[in-house]
Amino acid sequence: MKGKRLGLRKWLGLKLFKGLYDKAVEQHELRTLFWECTLRCNLRCRHCGSDCRVDVEEQDMPLADFLRVLDEEVTPNTDPSRVLIIFSGGEVLVRPDLETAGHEVTRRGYKWGMVTNGMALTRERLYSLVNAGLRSVSVSFDGFEDAHNHIRQNRLSFERARDAIRHIRSVEGLAYDVITCVTPAMIDRLEEWKEFLISEGIERWRIFSIFPAGRAANDPTLHLTTEQYRRLMEFVRTTRREGCIKLNYACEGFLGGYEAEVRDHFYMCTAGVSVASIRVNGDISGCTSVRANYTQGNIYRDSFWDVWQNRFKPFRDRAWTKKDECEGCKVWEFCRGGGMHLRDEEGKLMYCHYNMLK
């Protein structure tokens, strides 16, 4: 079983990759733009990092406001064909103007995708979205019916997600994957779950584990133990070697000996480096997983492009993370303090994946 230890080959690879990361930071080319278009949701999942709900105080951002940012700030400064726009939420399908949004974004030369829980993704809605330019979609699918419905707190959610995936598979060329949030309830059934996904014809699968943010922070039953976490890493590694399904572990954190074995790439937190987000209230930040307040500006007050070019210092220069348990850590040069989403309001690291691997 692998652990924290890096072999010479991997150490050399990481050293080389470090240089590429520095280059990416220096260039900070905007490649992914999240638009958190709503915080409303038709589910109330136990592990929701955004703490979304049906009844939210925050109004959806008007489409015109987002399009203004694209037209005045992003399009003149980028090649739209190189920027992927991701509609995120909340649950994006609760927005009645999603097709309009997709159509407008496509008309401007951007590719766009969305993340959904699948509850409201009927065949008709999907086709309508595909016709509005949808090119990529990710569906949350957290395990067998009991586990999925438990975590989603809705007894129809498994069936709806499965149906949504089947509809998606009927659109050739539409990039998609399913995302499984692995909880202790699923750790013993991963092999069986994998077989189920393969039998459904699913080709791409992404796994992540709970990080302590939003509602998940207060539910210890969702968190993996050290032993379970190591088993998860072994499972991902073995599955990738088998090659029956294209599995990736999400960009959670640096993984020592498992680097480049559980993901297609070495660990790198691209929040604020090539990924930006526009929050529902107009806040400009890195990736939407970053829930603590690392807001760099607001589209209603600031120029998005000016913010992207000239701020984002905490994201691009992570030297400030070299404190507490990261101080003196021998892999900091590769890890740089872990993902920004793992830092709390005071900058403290909430969770170290590397330390989970003994």
Partner 1 sequence: MNAKLKIALLALLGFSTASCASKRAAKKSSDKEMQKIETDTVDTRIMLMYGVPMPDGRPVMIVEDEKTMDAKEFPDGSLVKPISEEEAKRLIDQMRAEEQPDSLDLQISVMYGVPFPDGEVVHEVSESEVNAKAFEDGSLVKPVSEEEAQRLIEKMRAEEKAEK
Cβ-based neighbour number of residue 264 at 10 Å: 10
Question: Nearest-CA neighbor of 93 among 51, 151, 134, 153?
Answer: 134
Told to check if 237 binds partner 1 by CB under 8 A, we report no
Which one of residues 75, 238, 248, 298 is an interface residue with partner 1 (CB under 8 A)? 248
Told to check if 12 binds partner 1 by CB under 8 A, we report yes
Q: Which two tokens stand for residue 212?
A: 């302590």
Least distance CB 6 / partner 1 (angstroms): 13
Told to check if 291 binds partner 1 by CB under 8 A, we report no
Which one of residues 78, 154, 180, 183 is an interface residue with partner 1 (CB under 8 A)? 154
Closer residue to partner 1 in complex, CB, 142/177: 177
Q: Identify which range of 100-108, 187-195, 309-317, 348-356 contacts partner 1 by CB under 8 A.
A: 100-108
- Return the residues of window 160-199 that contact partner 1 according to CB under 8 A: 170-177
Q: Is 159 helix (H, G, I), strand (E, B) or coil?
A: helix
Which one of residues 47, 111, 194, 318 is an interface residue with partner 1 (CB under 8 A)? 111
**Cα 225 to the center of its chain, rounded Å:** 22
Q: Is 261 helix (H, G, I), strand (E, B) or coil?
A: coil
Told to check if 322 binds partner 1 by CB under 8 A, we report no
Which one of residues 43, 217, 276, 299 is an interface residue with partner 1 (CB under 8 A)? 43
Please, which residues bridge with residue 40 across strands?
A: 53
Which one of residues 65, 71, 77, 131 is an interface residue with partner 1 (CB under 8 A)? 131
Least distance CB 150 / partner 1 (angstroms): 8
β-pairing, 111-116 vs 275-278, is unpaired
Closer residue to partner 1 in complex, CB, 135/148: 135
